């Protein structure tokens, strides 16, 4: 065959393959879920040791359908945890009076299955506490630890999960492993209860890994009902100017480095226009792995290690001292710390609000991207705290990790509000772009 005919045939073949790929890509729609900010009861959720327990905790929740027939459940979205779990109703009449609509009923699901000890899922090395085997039942047991030192036990199980728009589109449900937790948790009438937690880190048993999702993103709104979670690859966020920072992974395993977390490189911190003179060694993990920077949707506020926090505190106090409505509480009560970690606090006159527009922004600088926290996201009104004639207490939403203590920088979801956050596992990076979430949700709804 003449060379020019061979070349023509190759070009035709490439064109056919390209159009087929485009058609396949176009036919794969991402899954779209509503992301809500909910006030949670103090003991509604179990916490891993690295998690913080807030008396007035706000969590991000998504709604899923689990089991056959499907049971609607509300789960907390947590990029800092691996194992998803559901609070399961008792299997017998004993204790059933404690069951509520927030529990999952495994006996009512025809597709529910316990995970046996011999299963590879029962040998996961990514969980903080490795699974154990119940010798009598030969079922795989898991344990979650609370921040107060108590723990909750349950069994590893599998069932089918129908997520967001996938159910409406008729897509087959995903069979995934999760913890079927048997412990009862306190609830309160003023909180929105949750049936469990959706683990979204990079561990083998996370929902992301089990669903083979190589990219997901979300936008956390400052309004409860305008957030969005997008699972899967999509070109929809192209209207956003995303800046990417690479995920950080040490060359070799380190004892205190969480290798399945979404870790990025923190290069510097700026308060207002002032670039803080923090040594690079303070912002980077040390030889043990302690000091990594994690993006965590399961933690409310942001925590900085002691030296970095001290620099931010000093500069923030210096720049806000001229503001008439703010009186540094530390001048009067040096020992006050909200939730034992937030001690950059102020007195604000009764009936007034902090001058949000005049507060200096706190900007976290990464390799290739930055996260600027300003306005009303900088100060949090401490519930129940009053001084003098009724002055309210407001605290900076950056906490001292050394006081908790945790050995890492943790970027919480409060500082991710109105920010498009994309987790791109294919290319090992996190993308950030400021955006109004209600506008983004509207655009996505129209485009889908």
Which residues carry out catalysis?
Answer: 78, 296
> What is the C-alpha separation between 278 and 280, in angstroms, rounded?
6
**Alpha carbon distance 310, 230 (integer Å):** 37
- H or E stretch including 48? none
Contacts of 115 (CB under 8 A, 6+ apart): 121, 122, 139, 140, 155, 156, 157, 158, 177
Provide the pairing of β-strand 85-87 with 174-181.
parallel
What is the distance between the alpha carbons of residues 123 and 281, in angstroms, rounded to a whole number? Answer: 36
Query: Cis link prior to 405 (omega < 30° from 0)?
Result: yes
Helix (H) or strand (E) run with residue 307 in it: helix 306-320
DSSP secondary structure string for all residues of 347-382? EE-TT----GGGSPPEEEEESS-EEEE-GGGSEEEE
Strand 31-40 relative to strand 227-231, pairing: antiparallel
Residue 160's Cβ-side half-sphere holds a number of Cα atoms within 13 Å equal to 14
Q: CB of 363 within 8 A of CB of 373?
A: yes
Spatial CA neighbour of 154 closest among 165, 166, 139 = 139
From the CA atom positions of the chain, what is the Rg in Å?
Answer: 24
Residues found in the chain: 448
Q: Which two tokens stand for residue 294?
A: 């994690």
């Amino acid at each position: 065959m003449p060379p020019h005919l061979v070349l023509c045939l190759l070009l035709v073949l490439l064109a056919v393959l390209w159009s087929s790929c485009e058609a396949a890509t176009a036919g794969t729609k991402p899954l779209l879920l509503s992301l809500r900010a909910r006030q949670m009861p103090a003991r509604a959720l179990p916490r891993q040791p690295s998690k913080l327990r807030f008396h007035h905790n706000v969590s991000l929740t998504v709604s899923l359908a689990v089991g056959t027939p499907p049971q609607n459940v509300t789960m907390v979205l947590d990029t800092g945890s691996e194992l998803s779990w559901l609070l399961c109703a008792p299997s017998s009449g004993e204790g059933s009076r404690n069951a509520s609509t927030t529990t999952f009923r495994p006996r009512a699901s025809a597709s529910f299955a316990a995970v046996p000890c011999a299963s590879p899922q029962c040998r996961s090395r990514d969980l903080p506490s490795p699974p154990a085997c119940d010798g009598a039942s030969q079922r795989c047991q898991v344990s979650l630890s609370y921040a107060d030192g108590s723990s909750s036990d349950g069994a590893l199980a599998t069932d089918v999960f129908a997520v967001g728009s996938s159910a409406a589109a008729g897509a087959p449900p995903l069979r995934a492993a999760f913890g079927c937790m048997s412990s009862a948790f306190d609830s309160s009438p003023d909180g929105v209860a949750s049936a469990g937690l959706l683990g979204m880190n990079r561990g083998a048993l996370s929902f992301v890994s089990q669903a083979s999702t190589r990219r997901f993103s979300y936008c956390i709104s400052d309004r409860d009902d305008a957030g969005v979670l997008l699972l899967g690859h999509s070109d929809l966020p192209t209207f956003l100017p995303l800046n990417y920072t690479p995920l950080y992974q040490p060359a070799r395993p380190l004892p205190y480095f969480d290798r399945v977390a979404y870790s990025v490189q923190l290069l510097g911190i700026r308060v207002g226009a002032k670039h803080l003179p923090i040594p690079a060694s303070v912002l980077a993990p040390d030889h043990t792995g302690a000091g990594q920077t994690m993006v965590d949707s399961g933690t409310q506020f942001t925590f900085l290690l002691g030296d970095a926090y001290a620099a931010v505190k000093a500069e923030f106090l210096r720049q806000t001292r001229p503001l008439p409505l703010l009186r540094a509480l530390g001048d009067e009560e040096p020992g006050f710390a909200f939730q034992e970690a937030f001690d950059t606090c102020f007195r604000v006159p009764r009936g007034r609000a902090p001058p949000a527009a005049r507060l200096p922004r706190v900007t976290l600088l990464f390799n290739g991207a930055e996260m600027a926290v300003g306005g009303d996201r900088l100060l949090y009104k401490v519930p129940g705290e009053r001084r003098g004639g009724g002055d309210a207490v407001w605290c900076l939403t950056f906490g001292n990790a050394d006081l908790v203590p945790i050995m890492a920088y943790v970027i919480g979801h409060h500082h991710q509000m109105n920010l498009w956050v994309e987790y791109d596992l294919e290319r090992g990076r996190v993308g950030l772009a400021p955006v109004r979430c209600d506008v983004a949700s509207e655009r996505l709804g129209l485009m889908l």
